[in-house]
Amino acid sequence: MLALLGAPAELIGPGGEYLRVLAFAMPFAAASFTLQSACSGVGVTRAAMYHALVVSAVNLPEGCQKSA
Protein backbone atom coordinates (compact mmCIF):
# COMPACT_ATOMS: atom_id res chain seq x y z
CA MET A 1 0.00 0.00 0.00
CA LEU A 2 2.77 2.41 0.89
CA ALA A 3 4.61 1.69 -2.35
CA LEU A 4 1.43 2.40 -4.31
CA LEU A 5 1.15 5.73 -2.53
CA GLY A 6 4.70 6.61 -3.60
CA ALA A 7 6.45 6.31 -0.24
CA PRO A 8 10.25 6.23 -0.36
CA ALA A 9 11.85 2.78 0.04
CA GLU A 10 13.34 3.63 3.45
CA LEU A 11 9.86 4.30 4.84
CA ILE A 12 8.13 1.16 3.55
CA GLY A 13 9.60 -1.17 6.22
CA PRO A 14 8.81 0.97 9.29
CA GLY A 15 5.57 2.16 7.74
CA GLY A 16 4.43 -1.41 7.17
CA GLU A 17 5.15 -2.27 10.81
CA TYR A 18 3.13 0.75 11.93
CA LEU A 19 0.21 -0.21 9.72
CA ARG A 20 0.24 -3.79 11.08
CA VAL A 21 0.04 -2.48 14.66
CA LEU A 22 -2.67 -0.05 13.65
CA ALA A 23 -4.68 -2.82 11.98
CA PHE A 24 -4.42 -4.93 15.16
CA ALA A 25 -5.55 -2.01 17.35
CA MET A 26 -8.45 -0.88 15.16
CA PRO A 27 -11.10 -3.29 16.54
CA PHE A 28 -10.20 -2.27 20.09
CA ALA A 29 -10.42 1.41 19.20
CA ALA A 30 -13.80 0.87 17.54
CA ALA A 31 -15.08 -0.96 20.63
CA SER A 32 -13.76 1.84 22.82
CA PHE A 33 -15.49 4.57 20.80
CA THR A 34 -18.71 2.55 20.74
CA LEU A 35 -18.64 2.07 24.52
CA GLN A 36 -17.98 5.76 25.15
CA SER A 37 -20.73 6.83 22.77
CA ALA A 38 -23.24 4.35 24.20
CA CYS A 39 -22.52 5.49 27.75
CA SER A 40 -22.84 9.14 26.77
CA GLY A 41 -26.03 8.43 24.83
CA VAL A 42 -27.81 6.90 27.82
CA GLY A 43 -26.59 9.63 30.16
CA VAL A 44 -23.85 7.70 31.98
CA THR A 45 -21.25 10.32 31.24
CA ARG A 46 -19.16 9.53 34.32
CA ALA A 47 -18.43 6.02 33.00
CA ALA A 48 -17.48 7.47 29.60
CA MET A 49 -15.15 9.95 31.30
CA TYR A 50 -13.47 7.23 33.39
CA HIS A 51 -13.08 5.07 30.31
CA ALA A 52 -11.44 7.94 28.42
CA LEU A 53 -9.09 8.56 31.36
CA VAL A 54 -8.08 4.89 31.53
CA VAL A 55 -7.45 4.76 27.78
CA SER A 56 -5.33 7.93 28.01
CA ALA A 57 -3.40 6.61 31.02
CA VAL A 58 -2.60 3.40 29.14
CA ASN A 59 -1.64 5.14 25.90
CA LEU A 60 0.41 8.01 27.33
CA PRO A 61 3.41 6.04 28.66
CA GLU A 62 3.56 3.95 25.48
CA GLY A 63 3.49 7.07 23.30
CA CYS A 64 6.22 8.76 25.35
CA GLN A 65 8.36 5.63 25.23
CA LYS A 66 8.19 5.43 21.41
CA SER A 67 9.15 9.08 20.89
CA ALA A 68 12.13 9.03 23.26
Each residue's pLDDT expressed in tens, for the chain with a length of 68 residues: 778 888 888 888 888 888 888 888 899 889 988 988 888 889 888 988 888 898 888 888 776 765 54
What was the pLDDT predicted at 67? 53
What was the pLDDT predicted at 27? 92
Instruction: Name the pTM for this structure.
Output: 0.59
Cβ 36 vs Cβ 17: under 8 Å: no
CA distance 24 to 44: 29
What was the pLDDT predicted at 52? 85
Alpha carbon of 39 to those of 17, 33, 50: distances in Å?
33, 10, 11
